[in-house]
Amino acid sequence: MSVDLTQNQWVALAWAELLIVYLGYFLYLRWLERKKPKAEGEE
C-alpha cells in the first residue's frame, strides 16, 4: 500500500493510534465493570 503523508501527518497518526488504543482499553474496563456475572448454570 502506498501512502503519501507528510512527516507531521505520520506523527499525528502515531499519536492518534496511541490515544485510541488507550481510550479503547479504558472503555473495555468500564464495560467489564458493569457487566453482570453469569448466573449459576448459565452457559
Using CB under 8 A, list all residues that contact other proteins.
Answer: 3, 5, 7-8, 10-11, 13-15, 17-19, 21-22, 25-26, 29, 32-33, 37, 40
Say how far apart CA 17 and CA 42 lie, in whole Å: 37
Taking the complex as a whole, the smallest distance from the CB of residue 41 to other proteins amounts, in Å, to 10
Shortest Å distance, C-beta 4 to other proteins: 10
Rounded to whole angstroms, how far apart are CA atoms 25 and 15? Answer: 16
Residues 13, 5 contacting (CB under 8 angstroms): yes
In whole angstroms, the minimum distance from the beta carbon of 27 to other proteins comes to 12
